[in-house]
Amino acid sequence: MDPPPRPSHDDPDDDELAPNDNEGLRALSVYEEGESISFAYYSEESGVINIETSSCFGHDTDLVIQSFRSAINDPNVVLVSNRIATNGPLLGLLISVSGDADPLAPPVDPDVPGPPKEVLAYKVLKSSAYDLRASRQRITENLHVKELSKQQTIQTLAANAVSFPSPPRNPSSSSTPPPKNHHNNSYASTSFHSLSTVLDFDSPTQTRALGGLLAYLQQTLFRLEHNQIVSVLSIKPSSATQYMKVTPLTLRALHIFSEERHPLIAKGLGQSKEGFSLYSLLNRCSSKLGSKCLRQWMLRPLTNLREINLRQSGCTLLMKPDMGSVAQTVSKLFTYITDVPSILMRMQKCLTKPTDFGILRKAVDAAMSIIAILRGDAMMVALSNPEHVEFVQKILKPTDLEGLANVSKRIQETVDEELTRESNQIAINDGFSIDLDNAKQRFDDLDELLSRVGMSISQRYPEIGELQVIFFPQVGFLVSLTNPVNIPPEFVFTFEGDGMHYFKTSEMYTLDDQEGDLDALIKDTEALIATELEEEILDFDLSLRNTFHSLSELDCVMAFANVAAELNFTRPEVVDDDSNTIKVENGRSPLQELVTEHRFIANDVEITTATPIAMITGPNFSGKSCYMTMVGVLVYLAQIGSFVPCDKAKIAIVDQILVRIASVETCAVPQSTFQIDLTQVGQMLRQATKKSLVLIDEFGKGTTPASGMSVLAAAIDHLSNLQSRVVCTTHFLELFSLNLLASNRGGVQVYKMGVHVPQTEEEDAVPLFKLEKGVASSSDGLLCAKMAGLESPVLLRGAEILSAIQKGKSIKAAKEIRTDGALRKKLLTKFMSKSSWADATSEELEGLFATMDEDDMDEDQQ
């Protein structure tokens, strides 16, 4: 498909694409790379930039584009890179006017003339506009977001308690708003920290798309601004999407993917591979195409209830005993299905490998066999349940059995697959082309012909000695002599090499005219036949892609069914309502369960409309983070259509999973660890909705306890107002003792992870990994320290400091601590015998202090 015509100009100062003053500029910048596509849209009328980043995989790129376009008005200019400009189908989707692509409209015959199709104007930006480094610099240095700057100013004023006198009322001063297209040139760029709360700087495509949009705005609307500052009201994510939003941070926190890099990858050697992850657990696909499709599914969980139920119904069908032999046969057939879209792409680019035809034919034959099984045995088993029938019909609907049969037949008739595989060159079947067969026969008889001609020349010229008549491709027929003496005049020297001298004679010229270059003729004819075959196959390009994509989805569902049967997963009840319910009985973490030495301790999850916020407290190493991650993984699995590891589950659809996990400080980001944590929380608070799931893991540890606790309490309060579903782990027990948060207030329910506390010094603390209602009495840091193997002097000194803090006494200077004294052992045993001293009785505290005093007296005597 050739790119449609466009009003083109390369000079950004041209006004050829200038918008109508009555409607204002609406610019859409698009950047696509690999499996990701990003949009940045600016409307002069609203002054808002809308951004969206999504995964795209060829066959459903149109759905991604339509989803974003449905949330905005048609742009009057589309900004693209050279990569998109040379991709006709993708460009056509981007510049089509909304409403042109009617799925119910009859197909248009390209041979029937009709009115020209209306398209949007588009502009190809220079490569520098989309350069990653330049785009990042443009965003951080030339973008002013009023909403973010206003909040930053308010916070600064509040922190510094600064007040400004009111300006004098001047009747002559005008309060009339500035005229249209007028911009205040006193704006400064918004800080990186504030921008990080609305933008994902880790996404190259999003950064490039926004950078390209800013480059265009700098040369049009904002070209007269001081320092070319682009000032907008706000930056907002697009609200239109058919999939759950998952960020790279979410994928990493939930261990969805895990890339293990080759040790020599920095030198360009070796390849990365998938490590221990949810993807590696679920990837039981039998075909490479199925593995690719599974990755696509896991990058984009569903929010469409019908599609989720269809995948789950497929799992249920494939797990039925009657489907055992069917599934086994289909699984074997899937091993013959390779990456068909890549073969079709090579054919489109005229880069077809000789073996591609045979590989494609095997894949097509396997696909036909699978379709036949689905129409026969599988449908017979599915008839007992309408949901199962709908799943089979969904797989069969895009398939084109007639097209597959035509492709297979044409390849079998044309290509000699065995000879092609052996020679690694395209070989055409005998009998397919009479002219080709005749040329091959003449080439096979060439040795006999050359022998006869050589004998004839030797008889005519016996004085020249031994000679040979040979054939060189691209050169023709020649007489070869080892010792060129007594050469007749009609022998024309041509060249010499390897001790041989080559000549042309009248007989050689006659052979050139009669036989020609047989080798080139054969190769050219075979190449022409192969090209014609490619064109015939590409006539079925769309049906082949649709067929194999549909079958790859079947392979994914079969993988889900295999995992569910092997690991005892259960079908969850997924609902799409306002209940915000996440109820799970005996939920398990699928990855943690595999690496646990003993039986994994299952836990319940109960998040409802009344209590959407679960605060998890408990000691270190008690399983709080594991529980939080488990909740996210269970919801994620349910929305990709998989069964989940539990006894029973009811899950309301979430629109996004937002995660705050332990941050890693890096010099690549100009932020401290706590600033990175704040950025993550800021993104949560801006993006969260009522249907979101928010996971917060021990936020606030990177600063003073008071500061961390205050920000966390305020964030929870904000999420409570939004009614978002939240699972938050924390060690800030003061949140509850100071009554900042409490169960059954503001939608909060407080839980604790149980721990068995040792009663004697010989025992060890044992985490029970079981969730209970209530607030943990302490974080039991000393118990965790003991489990970690810290030396006794350190533990004893920690116990002394903790006791002094709890008693409100000053902390004595550290002394040499002896571990062999009976009093010290008595003190340690007494301290460890109680799980928490926060709620100890006065008698228990007096007993502890008395023991400490005895120890001090013993030291003084020493």
Give the C-alpha separation, 367 to 749, whole Å: 52
pLDDT in tens, 488-538: 888 888 888 877 888 888 888 887 777 777 777 888 888 899 999 999 999
What angle do helix axes 822-832 and 842-861 make, rounded to 10 degrees? 160
User: Which DSSP symbol is given to 189?
Assistant: P
Least confident of 214-223, 265-274, 624-633, 845-854: 845-854
Token digits for 150?
Answer: 């206003």
pLDDT in tens, 91-110: 888 888 754 443 333 333 43
Residue 593 contacts residue 645 (beta carbons within 8 Å): yes
- Average pLDDT (67-80) is 82
Token digits for 748?
Answer: 């909060």
pLDDT at 836: 63
- Closest Cα to residue 548, out of 732, 424, 401? 401
Q: Which CATH number fits domain 573-773: 3.40.109.10, 3.20.190.10, 1.10.4160.10, 3.40.50.300?
A: 3.40.50.300
Residue 24 contacts residue 76 (beta carbons within 8 Å): no
Inform me whether the pLDDT recorded for 14 exceeds 60. no
- CATH topology classification for 283-426+540-567: MutS, DNA mismatch repair protein; Chain A, domain 3 (1.10.1420)
Percent helix, strand and coil across the chain, each to the nearest 5? 45, 15, 40
DSSP β-bridge partners for residue 766: 756
Least confident of 123-132, 165-174, 730-739, 776-785: 165-174
Give the C-alpha separation, 184 to 187, whole Å: 7
pLDDT at 439: 80
Which CATH architecture fits 434-511?
Orthogonal Bundle (1.10)
Q: How confident is the model at residue 444 (pLDDT cuts 50, 70, 90)?
A: confident
Q: What is the 3-state secondary structure (H, E, C) of 387-418?
A: HHHHHHHHHHCCCCHHHHHHHHHHHHHHECHH
Least confident of 69-83, 434-448, 607-621, 758-772: 758-772
Residue 178 CB contacts under 8 Å (≥ 6 apart), including other chains: 184
Q: How confident is the model at residue 289 (pLDDT cuts 50, 70, 90)?
A: very high
Give the C-alpha separation, 75 to 856, whole Å: 80
Strand order in the sheet with 48-55: 122-124, 77-80, 26-33, 36-43, 48-55, 234-237
Question: Which amino acid belongs to residue 651?
Answer: I
- Higher pLDDT, residue 848 or 391: 391
Residue 92 contacts residue 66 (beta carbons within 8 Å): no
Residue 304 contacts residue 638 (beta carbons within 8 Å): no
Give the C-alpha separation, 760 to 258, whole Å: 42
Inform me whether the pLDDT recorded for 241 exceeds 70. no
Least confident of 192-201, 550-559, 598-607, 642-651: 192-201
Give the C-alpha separation, 612 to 537, whole Å: 55
Inform me whether the pLDDT recorded for 16 exceeds 60. no
Homologous superfamily of the 26-159+186-242 domain (CATH): MutS, connector domain (3.30.420.110)
DSSP string, 112-162: S--PPPPB--EEE--GGGG-HHHHHHHHHHHEEEHHHHHHHHHHHHHHHT-
Give the C-alpha separation, 718 to 473, whole Å: 80
Quote the strand ranges of 400-558, DSSP E. 467-472, 476-481, 492-497, 500-504
pLDDT at 73: 77
Q: Which helix H or strand E contains 627, and what residues bound it?
A: helix 624-639
Contacts 24+ apart (CB under 8 A), 176-182: 180/21, 181/221
Question: Could you tell me the pTM of the whole model?
Answer: 0.72
Inform me whether the pLDDT recorded for 80 exceeds 90. yes
Q: What is the 3-state secondary structure (H, E, C) of 507-526?
A: HHHHHHHHHCCHHHHHHHHH
